[in-house]
């Protein structure tokens, strides 16, 4: 084995971190566009879908190449395994961002809700988990991901409460059905993104320690 391998492995990790950051920004900015009815920005986020796809394929390709050429062991093998999962999860998160961005134009003419919803709060929690996952991966440090079980519980609880609230809106006022249905999807995507963050956290734990944990 050569130093070339470790140089390339480090570069792969760095580029994967950047890709995860890019996907994270897609989700963040799509939510901002949604909350601010900013169709301009939504369009801009939506247009990043090709880029995230291309980067995903390129990074996966590089990962498979490293496996085929160097057959990594131990820590290197665990980093590679984790990297593949990171790429997949980040792509999903980016695509949720794209899907949310795509909703903004449809909601432009829909009446707004009478009261504030916990969706922005839920978004902050999920984005916080994603940020911490990226830091943990980048710095190979467990601290940022150590409370994930309880953070994920909160996200799940919010998802259920938003779902119930939306159902109530829809029953009380059919005018809000479109917006409510879309917001249910947004909350669902956020809940899924939180799950992806948990999966990533499990893989990062394995990468760092060689042991598997379950975040439920």
- Residues at the site binding other proteins, with contacts judged by CB under 8 A: 1-2, 5-6, 71-78, 209-211
Least Å distance between CB 141 and other proteins? 18
Least Å distance between CB 82 and other proteins? 13
Q: Nearer Cβ to other proteins, position 80 or 117?
A: 80
Q: Nearer Cβ to other proteins, position 2 or 150?
A: 2
Least Å distance between CB 9 and other proteins? 10
Q: Nearer Cβ to other proteins, position 50 or 74?
A: 74
Least Å distance between CB 8 and other proteins? 13
Burial class of 21 by CB neighbour count within 10 A (0 to 12, 13 to 18, 19+):
middle
Q: Nearer Cβ to other proteins, position 43 or 81?
A: 81
- Residue 195 tokens read as 């799950």
């Amino acid at each position: 084995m050569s130093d070339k391998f470790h140089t390339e492995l480090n570069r792969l990790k760095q580029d994967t971190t950047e890709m995860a950051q890019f996907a994270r920004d897609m989700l963040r900015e799509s939510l901002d566009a949604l909350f601010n009815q900013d169709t301009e920005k939504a369009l801009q986020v939506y247009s990043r879908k090709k880029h995230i796809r291309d980067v995903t394929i390129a990074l996966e390709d590089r990962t498979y190449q490293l496996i085929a050429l160097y057959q990594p062991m131990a820590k290197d093998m665990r980093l590679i395994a984790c990297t593949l999962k990171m790429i997949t999860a980040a792509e999903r998160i980016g695509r949720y961002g794209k899907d949310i961005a795509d909703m903004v134009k449809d909601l432009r003419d829909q009446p707004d809700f009478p009261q504030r919803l916990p969706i922005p709060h839920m978004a902050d929690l999920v984005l916080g988990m994603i940020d911490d996952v990226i830091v943990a991966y980048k710095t190979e440090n467990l601290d940022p991901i150590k409370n994930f079980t309880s953070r994920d519980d909160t996200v799940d609880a919010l998802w259920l409460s938003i779902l119930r609230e939306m159902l109530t809106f829809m029953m009380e006022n059919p005018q809000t059905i479109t917006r409510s249905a879309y917001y249910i999807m947004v909350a669902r995507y956020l809940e899924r993104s939180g799950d992806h963050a948990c999966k990533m956290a499990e893989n990062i734990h394995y990468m760092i320690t060689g042991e598997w944990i379950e975040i439920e």
